[in-house]
Copies of this chain bind each other. A is one copy, B any other.
Amino acid sequence: MRAVVMRDGRLVVDDIADQRPRPGQVLARTLACGICGSDLHTLHHVDEIGAQMHEASELGAQGPLPIAPAITDFGRDVVLGHEFVAEVVEVGEGTGNCAAGDVVVSVPVVFDESGLYMVGYSDVYPGGYGEYLCLADMLALKVPNGLDPHVAALTEPMAVSVHAVNRSGIGPGDAAVVLGCGPVGLAVIAALRSIGVETIVGSDLSAGRRALAGVMGATEVSDPVTEPALDTWRRVDGRKPLVIFEAVGVPGMLDLAIRDAPRDAQVLVVGVCMQPDTIRPMGAILREITMRFVYAYSLEEFADTLRRIAEGELGELSPMITGTVGLDGVPGAFDALADPDQHAKILITP
């Protein structure tokens, strides 16, 4: 089958071995797969991802993983892609949940007698950047009839944002500032809007992404060059309990959030900063800031996110999808995503 393969730090389109479902698995044809910011990061910082996997391995269960995943050998070919929607084409032994023809999404986890693998970060099981995927039959969720599969491909990143919003404990009477309006920040804005938060300030350096933030539900947008996001919040509200969602994930953002946060604010860290980061604790102490770090989602949150998308509870998500490419277009899409004014979420349609 054809796939975009990560090999020697580059993406190449190549033929790889055809997949067959093992017991408990189904084989599914990829209908669409989102390109995640962490995919870009993985391509360029494979050593960091490897170190993270080792740490995750020591932790055991986390997020949707019931046990620690197998360690990936990034010296071998890896097919990225963990935000997929796919059509079942063949069922393996011992299955009973899915049937051929079902359109499904799944938490990006598959397992066999040798262990558990993270789909999209594995050198054993290809991810959604290939024509076919092996999925765990019992984890696959059927996309409700009538939901556009391309929108269903947003289930995974939306589940990340739903989890972050759940963990923050934010309610309709509180205010939110979202630092960074890339796909994660936009998904957080949609999740906040869906639970009735009336003051949502989205902040991004890119005019295109600020416009998208407004479409997704931000009630105010801030260009940090002309007005820091917390100043915008003070101008339009300044009194409700505040949660600051950090959705940029680069060094310096935590200190910026602490520096500008009001007393008793919560900084909800949903952006993934893989480098060491320096903060000045004194500001956080004097203003009694809480920093809450979150990761992934539970199986229940993933399923609930699909249901909420299908029922329209999370609003109109299609504006987040700013482009689609075939396999041959993936390397170019990686370059295009470096320009935040042009794109938010690009889907691959193999």
Q: Which chain A residues have a beta carbon within 8 Å of chain B's beta carbons?
A: 52, 55-56, 59, 62, 167, 254, 263, 269, 272-274, 276-295
Contact = CB atoms under 8 A, between A and B. Distances in A.
B167 A286 contact: no
A160 to B, nearest CB: 11
B280 A276 contact: yes
Given A277-B279, A279-B277, A167 B288 contact: yes
A330 B277 CA distance: 39
Most buried by B among A167, A286, A287: A286
A62 B269 contact: no
A283 B55 contact: yes
Contact of A286 (B62, B278, B292): B62
Contacts of A272: 281-282, 285
A18 B293 CA distance: 53
A282 B293 CA distance: 9
A279 B282 contact: no
Number of copies: 2
A129 B175 CA distance: 45
9 contacts: A52-B282, A52-B286, A56-B286, A269-B281, A276-B278, A277-B280, A277-B281, A290-B290, A291-B293
Contacts of A277: 278-281
Contacts of A278: 276-279
A55 to B, nearest CB: 6
Contacts of A52: 282, 286
Contacts of A56: 286
Contacts of A295: 285-288
A269 B283 CA distance: 12
B285 A269 contact: yes
A55 B278 CA distance: 19
A274 B282 contact: yes
A287 B60 CA distance: 10
Given A288-B293, A291-B292, 13 more contacts: A52-B282, A55-B283, A56-B286, A59-B287, A269-B284, A272-B281, A277-B280, A277-B281, A278-B278, A279-B279, A286-B295, A288-B294, A290-B293
Given A59-B263, A62-B263, A263-B62, A285 B294 contact: yes
Contacts of A279: 276-279
A177 B277 CA distance: 25
Q: Which 6 A-B pairs have the closest CB atoms?
A: A284-B293, A291-B291, A273-B281, A278-B278, A290-B292, A285-B293
A276 B277 CA distance: 10
